Amino acid sequence: MTEQFKLVVVSAGTSDPSSTRLLAERAAQRVAQLASEKQYQAGIQVVELRELASEIANALVSNHIGPKLQQAITTLQHADGIVASTPVYKAGASGLFTSFFQILDNDLLIAKPVVLAATAGTARHALVVDDQMRGLFAYLRTVVVPTSLFASTEDWQDNALNKRIDRAALELVALMASGFEKQVRAESWGRYQHEFGSAGGTELSIDLDSDLMRLAAGGHA
């Protein structure tokens, strides 16, 4: 029996092809390869944020989730693992990248394993992933693998990048194979903060036994 992993690449690269997407895809392909060596299979889906740019902006200002954005949210909701990759602009992740993750429901990605990746024109941006991006993914209650990926211009000709990709890929496979997300969601989902209709529209449980529900039914909180 081979387990099928759904691996989702989220790229905020803007050119086609972009080095940002290239980095993410190399990591994703390495994940798929390592997975198959361990009797798993991994299917890769790519979410190109460039194509969602106007819908992301609309969602930020009006709460209105467009059809392509909704599809991306559904894709992430079913992901077993995520590779999230962004270019570095002005010493930070691209605004397109952070905007996208800011729109998501707080509980959409709980316990999902994530590889973080960034590209830049200079090695001086190397700590953007660990210093800035990890905080966002911690807020979203994801599990970010220990090895972050960063590639500036000179890294593309350095074999050390491949080694880091190998490390990050294996870390992701190990987390996916451990069933961490499934266990957390199965046993502890209720302990996280949810709203009615959150988790991409799937969180519909209602606790009738809460203080507020008793107050709603004429009682005292």
Partner 1 sequence: MQFGVFSVSDITRDPVSGETPSEAERIDAIVQIAEKAEEVGLDVFAIGEHHNPPFFSSAPTTLLAHIAARTKRLIVSTATTLITTNDPVRIAEEYAMLQHLAKGRMDLMLGRGNTAPVYPWFGADIRQSLPLALENYNLLHRLWREDVIDWEGKFRTPLQGFTSTPRPLDDVPPFVWHGSIRTPEIAEQAAYYGDGFFANNIFWPKEHYMRLIKFYRQRYAHYGHGTEKQAIVGLGGQAYIAKRSQDAINEFRPYFNEAPVYGHGPKMEDFMEMTPLSVGSPQEVIDKTLTFREHFGDYQRQMFLMDHAGLPLKTVLNQLDLLGEEVVPVLRKEIEARQDPETAKPPTHARRVEEKYGDQPARQPRPNANRGDNVTGGSPYQDSR
- Provide the residue type at 1 as one letter: M
Q: How far is the CB of 172 from partner 1 (least distance, A)?
A: 32
Q: How far is the CB of 97 from partner 1 (least distance, A)?
A: 20
C-alpha dist (Å) from residue 197 to 52, 108, 185, 203:
22, 11, 17, 5
Closer to partner 1 at the Cβ: 71 or 132?
71
Closer to partner 1 at the Cβ: 131 or 211?
211
Q: How far is the CB of 106 from partner 1 (least distance, A)?
A: 14
Closer to partner 1 at the Cβ: 70 or 132?
70
Residues 6+ apart with CB under 8 A from 110: 140, 141, 142, 181, 184, 185, 189, 192, 199
Long-range contact set of residues 66-70: C-beta below 8 Å, sequence gap at least 24? 69/103
* Euclidean distance between CA atoms 7 and 82, whole angstroms: 6
Residue 70 tokens read as 């909704």
Using DSSP, state whether 221 is helix, strand or coil: coil
- Decide the pairing of beta strands 81-89 and 92-93: antiparallel
Number of helices (H) and strands (E) in the chain: give both, helices first: 10, 7
Closer to partner 1 at the Cβ: 66 or 92?
66
Q: How far is the CB of 199 from partner 1 (least distance, A)?
A: 13
Closer to partner 1 at the Cβ: 90 or 220?
220
Closer to partner 1 at the Cβ: 51 or 195?
195
Q: How far is the CB of 68 from partner 1 (least distance, A)?
A: 10
* Euclidean distance between CA atoms 52 and 176, whole angstroms: 27
Comparing C-alpha atoms, which of 44, 41, 54 is closest to residue 83?
44
Closer to partner 1 at the Cβ: 62 or 157?
62
Catalog residues that contact partner 1 under the rule CB under 8 A.
55, 57-58, 61-67, 195-197, 201, 204, 206, 208, 212-213, 215-218, 220-221
Q: How far is the CB of 62 from partner 1 (least distance, A)?
A: 4
Q: How far is the CB of 107 from partner 1 (least distance, A)?
A: 14
